A and B are shown apart, each in its own frame.
Chain A
Amino acid sequence: MSTESNLTKPSAEEEASGVEQTRSGRCYRPSVDILENEDELTVLADVPGAAADRIDVKFEEGTLAIHARVEPRQPEDTSYAIQEYGVGDYYRTFRVSEAVDAGKITAEYNEGVLILHLPKTEATKPRKIAVKSP
């Protein structure tokens, strides 16, 4: 089970993954899916417009932190006819109470989606126990 702990409380507008007027240095909270199967926790985060080498993923003392740096795509003085979302960095943290093998965490970035694989330690994987009859 993973519970969420955010260092910066998002405002009501930011909840919808960043539908706000843009200002320089804006930071957004990406939408995520978190799945669990027998072997791992999988986190999928929508972080479009980032560069793979500018995404930091840290797992420390049970907290997973994602920070994706996004370069502005348009000059700051662009005059928009419609502007429904801003472009900026993405940041989010999660508390992961499941025992995870930190050394085996992998990450991929594809089509704007960051996918993190957090393998469970052997001890936490469900184990079938054979019942012997005498």
Chain B
Amino acid sequence: MVFRSFYPRQPLGQLRHEMDRLLSGFFAQPPGSWLAGGREQPAVNVWDTQDALKVELEAPGVKKDQVDISVVGGELSLRVERPEVEQEGVTYHRRERPVGTFTRVLRLPADVDAGKVQAELAGGVLTITLPKAESAKPRKIKVKAVS
């Protein structure tokens, strides 16, 4: 299985990522959801429709070439860039909007068809649709009465 780490080369980030992977194996829970007060960026909302997984995140001011999405081995990797805009002759009174590169790896709770993943960016909201693999879709099983 291909594993690509996007986390910065800091001991703490690396340790936490290892912990996430360890526990996500046991509990099949995506990283970040159980960590109290963990402010992973970008913040995501993830839900399950019958046919697809949906991942949404808010990325105001971000253009589509500043977003990198990939699905590898049951994990969704997200990278969002918000470059610093250098301005001449300007004083900042407040600077709260995030600047920099934000990466996140989510363990997907169902198998998806990586070739059919779609992403839409509109009004600063990024919505990713990951259609489930046929094997992951719920299938009703008919019960035959055998007398």
Q: Check if A111 sits within 8 Å of B93, measured CB to CB.
A: no
Segment of A56-64, A77-85, A99-107 engaged in the interface with chain B: A77-85
B-facing residues in A89-121 (Cβ within 8 Å): 110-113
Q: How far is the CA of A44 from the CA of B123 in the complex (A)?
A: 15
**A window 30-57: CB within 8 A of B:** 31-38, 41, 44, 46-51
Which residues of A lie under 8 Å from residue B59 when comparing CB positions? 48, 112
- Is B113 close to A, CB under 8 A? no
Interface with A: B5-13, B17-25, B94-102, B139-147, which one? Answer: B94-102
| A44 and B97 contact, Cβ closer than 8 Å, known pairs A73-B56, A82-B30 | yes
B44 and A84 within 8 A (CB): yes
Docked pose: A48 CA to B87 CA in angstroms = 24
Assess whether B115 is interfacial by the CB under 8 Å rule. no
Contact partners of A84 in chain B: CB under 8 A: 32-33, 40, 43-45
A46 in contact with B125 (CB, 8 Å) = no
Name the one of A35, A78, A111 contacting B60, with C-beta atoms under 8 angstroms: A111
Question: What residue in chain A is nearest B89 (Cβ atoms)?
Answer: A37
CB neighbours of A82 from chain B (8 A): 30, 32-33, 44-46, 106
Known A85-B58, A113-B124: A46·B48 in contact at CB below 8 Å: no
Say if the beta carbon of A6 comes within 8 Å of chain B. Answer: no
Q: Is the CB of B44 within 8 A of A35?
A: no
Instruction: State whether A46 and B30 are in contact (beta carbons under 8 Å apart), knowing that A35-B92, A36-B90 are contacts in the complex.
Output: no
B109 and A81 within 8 A (CB): yes
| Bound complex: CA A33 to CA B60 (Å) | 13
Q: Is B3 among interface residues, defined by CB-CB distance under 8 A?
A: no
The answer to whether B124 and A81 have CB atoms under 8 Å apart is no
Smallest beta-carbon distance B116→chain A, Å: 19
Q: Which residues of B contact A85 (CB under 8 A)?
A: 43-45, 58
Contacts of A19 in B (CB 8 A): 39, 43
Taking CB atoms, residues of chain A closer than 8 Å to B123 are 48-51, 111-112
List residues of A whose CB falls within 8 A of some B CB: 1-2, 4, 16-17, 19, 31-38, 41, 44, 46-51, 73-74, 78-85, 110-113
Q: Could you list 26 examples of A-B contacts with CB < 8 Å? A: A2-B94, A4-B94, A17-B96, A31-B97, A33-B96, A34-B92, A36-B91, A36-B92, A38-B89, A46-B97, A47-B60, A48-B58, A48-B124, A48-B125, A49-B58, A49-B123, A49-B124, A73-B56, A74-B45, A79-B47, A81-B53, A82-B30, A82-B46, A84-B33, A84-B45, A112-B58
Excluding A33-B94, A79-B48, A112-B123, 6 further A-B contacts by CB distance (< 8 Å) are A2-B93, A33-B95, A36-B91, A46-B60, A80-B45, A112-B58
